[in-house]
Amino acid sequence: MTGNGSGRASRKGRHDGGPVLRLPPRLSVGASLGLRVLLVLALFGLAVAGHWFERDGLKDNLDNHVSFLDVIYFTAVTVTTVGYGDIVPVSNAARMFDTFVVTPIRLFVWLIFLGTAYSFFLQRGWDQVKTRMTQRTLNGHVVVCGYGTSGAAAVDELKAQGVDCGAIVVIDRDPARIEIANASGVFGIVGDATHDDVLETACIGRAARVIIAPSRDDAAALIVLSARRLSPSARISVGVRAEENADLLHQAGADAIINPVLLGGQLLARAATNGHAVDYITDLAAAHGRVALCERAVLPHEVGQPLSALKTGLGVRIIRAGQPIGWFEPAAAVLEAGDVVVEILPTGA
């Protein structure tokens, strides 16, 4: 689900540090840091307990008495350094404990410190650099808002059509869905697509296509409004659940509006008596079918010819000045400059 419909499309998102084009960590920063601190304390406690039970094997060169505070001090300097020599292990048991328990603890604690420094400083800086580098390469890409059932199917179809995974950016509020999207090879952003900063992180201003598949129509309307304002030239496709909202989404700037519930019901009804026809419709819609329904601008040498004379495929419709013209209409007898032809092509599948 990409939007809750409770905010205005133009407001900025409320995200700590802003949305980022990367896979979010499983743990928050505070939880991850707290877990590491607890692990260090547990290892330190283990070393303190071992030294306390083996305190008779330790020698204090200052007063010849090893107290509990001496044990804590000796453990601290032994875990963090090799010691100062004021308290030393003299028995074999104490020396073996330092060799096989405290030394590995010392190395492990340093690895935790180094890993923490890398995770919270170096890695974050590197992630920001990679994000900026990735954003610079995004141009003419596809932004998919919502990675539910419809959004995931749209991404699969895009990849089946040959769209490179690096040219697909998915936005969803659910980190688990973004994790799945990243696992499929596409970029992901955890955030609310009704917010401008989230869409801008996806470089929507340079996107060629925007696919909007939220779980609610009000969220879809907000996303369409923001997407159209930030990307005037992108082709926006949106899924709608209530038929009465289709006109609203069209007015908001959507180029194509699909009602999956209505379309599914129509196909089910037709399949009851025309199963082969429905199979052909599925062929036309899916990239893996034997035929594909495509659209393109009319070529200069095709101007003046009838739609039926196309050499590239079977022409079925002309879009002229935004109006559809069927192959059976008189106007289809002459192709004009600026026309868009819709044709059926074999895929070789």
Least confident of 41-50, 117-126, 254-263: 117-126
Instruction: Give the highest mean pLDDT range of 31-40, 231-240, 272-281.
Output: 231-240
The whole-number pLDDT of residue 13 equals 39
Q: Give the length of the chain.
A: 349
Mean of pLDDT values over 119-127: 64
Question: Which of 96-110, 252-266, 299-313 has maximum average pLDDT?
Answer: 299-313
Rounded to an integer, what distance in angstroms lies between the CA atom of residue 287 and that of residue 282?
9
Give the closest residue to 5 by CA, choosing from 194, 231, 190. 194
Q: What is the CATH T-level fold of the domain 290-346, as seen in this structure?
A: Alpha-Beta Plaits (3.30.70)
Contact status, residue 165 vs residue 134, Cβ threshold 8 Å: no
Which positions ≥6 away from 241 have C-beta within 8 Å?
Answer: 216, 217, 259, 260, 261
pTM here is 0.58
Query: pLDDT-based confidence at 349, cuts 50/70/90?
Result: low
Is there a contact between 159 and 177 (Cβ–Cβ < 8 Å)? no
* 118-132, 229-243, 245-259: range with lowest mean pLDDT: 118-132
pLDDT score for 108: 84
In the CATH scheme, what is the homologous superfamily, with its name and number, of domain 139-262? NAD(P)-binding Rossmann-like Domain (3.40.50.720)
Between CA 134 and CA 142 the distance in angstroms is 14
pLDDT digits 0-9 by tens, 213-243: 988 889 999 999 999 999 999 999 998 888 8
Q: How many CB atoms neighbour CB 251 within 10 A?
A: 11
Instruction: Name the CA radius of gyration of the chain, rounded.
Output: 32
Domain ranges of the chain: 29-134, 139-262, 290-346
Does 9 score more than 50 pLDDT? no
Phi then psi for residue 45, to 5 deg, are: -65, -40
Average pLDDT value over all residues in the chain: 83
Q: Are the C-beta atoms of residues 209 and 234 closer than 8 Å to each other?
A: yes
Which of 20-34, 105-119, 186-200 is most confident? 186-200
| 8-22, 61-75, 120-134: least confidently modelled range | 8-22
Q: Do 139-262 and 290-346 have matching folds?
A: no
Task: Tell me what percent of the residues of the chain surpass a pLDDT of 90.
Answer: 35
pLDDT for position 28: 64
Confidence of residue 100 (pLDDT cuts 50, 70, 90): confident
Q: For 17, left (φ over 0), alpha (ψ -120 to 50), or beta?
A: left
Confidence (pLDDT) at 304:
94
In 17-102, where does DSSP find H-type helix? 29-53, 68-80, 92-97
pLDDT at site 211: 96
DSSP string, 257-324: EE-HHHHHHHHHHHHTT-HHHHHHHHHHHSTTSSEEEEEEEPPGGGTTS-GGG-SSSEEEEEEETTEE
Domain 29-134 in this protein, CATH class: mainly alpha
Using CA atoms, how far residue 294 sits from 67, 109, 284, 285, in Å, is: 84, 61, 9, 10
pLDDT at position 225 is 94
pLDDT of residue 110: 83
